[in-house]
A and B are shown apart, each in its own frame.
Chain A
């Protein structure tokens, strides 16, 4: 093997690894705040990517209608929750958030979708749609279970993944789609050629990590989210709503998922079920980070991406096997290092 091939593989690995890093960070964030292991993270990727690809062809994706349908269910749940004190202001607020918001997004999508719509508008629409789905997914599936055990939340999470994947097949069909690249520029350094797309991947990943760091380190809301992760009762006792924290965590996770999807759909063809595998690699990075450490997760994601690139060169048939095997030594080491953990109290 010569240096050029190695550099190529490393470049490929880092590009993929950056995406896995974003997804891994989202998983750690959601788990820390809500204790949900977010299996449907992959569906956020698929929905974001394929909504963007469909919008690029001038069609309205089914996800926009799904957001409204989920909003209607969420509105019903909200009404049920406040049934004892049905004040007009509360009903109006629930109506605005659950019905008006997704309806506006749907109307915007119908109004703006067309073969000549600029890329930036399509990206914004895809992000809005997936963000709304993320918010309502939390409201419908996880908020009512917020007090239950990690296992119950995990089962609900698997259920959401299966349901959303099925809906993905309905919306986008079994054929794969590709989206237009963000930029056609390219940069050549020595033997390596960096496309505008891969530069966008690096840039956005770094920007997101910095933004998350600023958000959690320096804003009151970010600190409130951390506080919820550290001590739920303590957070409630200072007046932080755990449902609000959960909503923000899911909002961020769905946005990160959708952005990752939009970044990769110009590079590879995505199918309705591709997101799961991509999300799973982010999950491996998150597990290596112990589901708590953001920096460790980011580093692990780059390793996962590189291992994947090299194994697809040497033994492409075993690519996935090799990548997923990475998790075994980590789990063994962790189980040896940490004493047996009792089932959480609560």
Chain B
């Protein structure tokens, strides 16, 4: 397995409190990997640290490059992209400008192609392209955040709770799009509280509790694990209806 992202023995602390302890994970090319776990398990902290928003102790390599000396901006240029939980859109700018800025680090000619790709994935964004980002609905904002990240043609897209606070029908739409990304050659590292939906589209999964990975394996194995079923899938029986 050629690892696109490889994190080993990562520790992340807020002052003296260690939020992530000795975590190792890998994401291969063209793979969807999910990290599931309860609120406060340290999932978002881990993603932010991989992106460089928070300091990480340990080794991170992406596409063969050591990430430790790189700032957020250089990690973006290397092909790593994060859609954060709060989306961090440019609220007073319109949809098109938000997307255009997503392509800030790539050549202009490639950006035109990115626009096409994003508008095909999210036709709704094309309809709203002159609307201010801050006035979009929650689901549209999530689409815009993902679209903005995809504009930079990343190799790995990290998504932090993309389904949070969205209506079920929109969640289904977002998850369908995540599935389509793999076909387009983008790997995805997905952090989700909606474990069931995440496990359905992921290849592999890690289960996080109190800052540590307690389980890892193929998404299928994790989904059928007794303990996971009890804690995260709410005693769902096999064959229970989808999202």
Contact = CB atoms under 8 A, between A and B. Distances in A.
A50 interface: no
Contact of A238 (B53, B71, B76, B92): B76
A237 B72 contact: yes
A85 interface: yes
B79 to A, nearest CB: 11
Contact of B101 (A84, A85, A238): A238
Interface residues of B, number: 28
Interface in A219-245: 220, 223-224, 226-227, 230-231, 233-241
B162 interface: no
A239 B152 contact: yes
Interface in B91-128: 91-93, 97, 100-102, 104-105
Given A239-B77, A240-B73, A234 B53 contact: no
B92 A239 contact: no
A227 B82 contact: no
Contacts of B53: 233, 236
Contacts of B102: 238
Contacts of B81: 237
Contacts of B100: 220, 223
B160 to A, nearest CB: 11
Nearest to B91: A230
Given A224-B101, A238-B105, A241-B73, A230 B84 contact: no
A238 B76 CA distance: 7
B88 A237 contact: yes
Contacts of A85: 69
Contacts of B152: 238-239
Contact of B73 (A226, A231, A234, A236): A236
A220 B104 contact: yes
Nearest to A240: B104
B233 interface: no
B51 interface: yes
Nearest to A228: B90
Given A223-B100, A223-B101, A233 B73 contact: no
Given A224-B101, A224-B104, A237 B51 contact: yes
Contacts of B71: 236, 241
B89 interface: yes
B93 A227 contact: yes
B11 interface: no
B204 interface: no
B72 A234 contact: no
Contacts of A230: 90-93
B90 A234 contact: yes
Nearest to B69: A85
Given A237-B51, A237-B84, A227 B72 contact: no
A27 to B, nearest CB: 19
Contact of A233 (B69, B84, B91, B97): B84
B43 interface: no
Contacts of A235: 90, 101
B93 A238 contact: no
Contacts of A238: 76, 101-102, 104-105, 148-149, 151-152
A239 B105 contact: yes
Looking at A84, A230, A241, the one whose CB has the most chain B CB atoms below 10 A away is A230
B191 to A, nearest CB: 15
Given A220-B100, A226-B92, A234-B87, 5 more contacts: A230-B92, A234-B90, A235-B101, A238-B102, A239-B72
13 contacts: A84-B69, A224-B101, A226-B93, A230-B91, A233-B53, A234-B88, A234-B89, A237-B82, A237-B84, A238-B105, A239-B72, A239-B105, A240-B101
Q: Which 8 A-B pairs have the closest CB atoms?
A: A234-B88, A239-B76, A239-B105, A230-B90, A236-B72, A227-B90, A239-B73, A233-B88
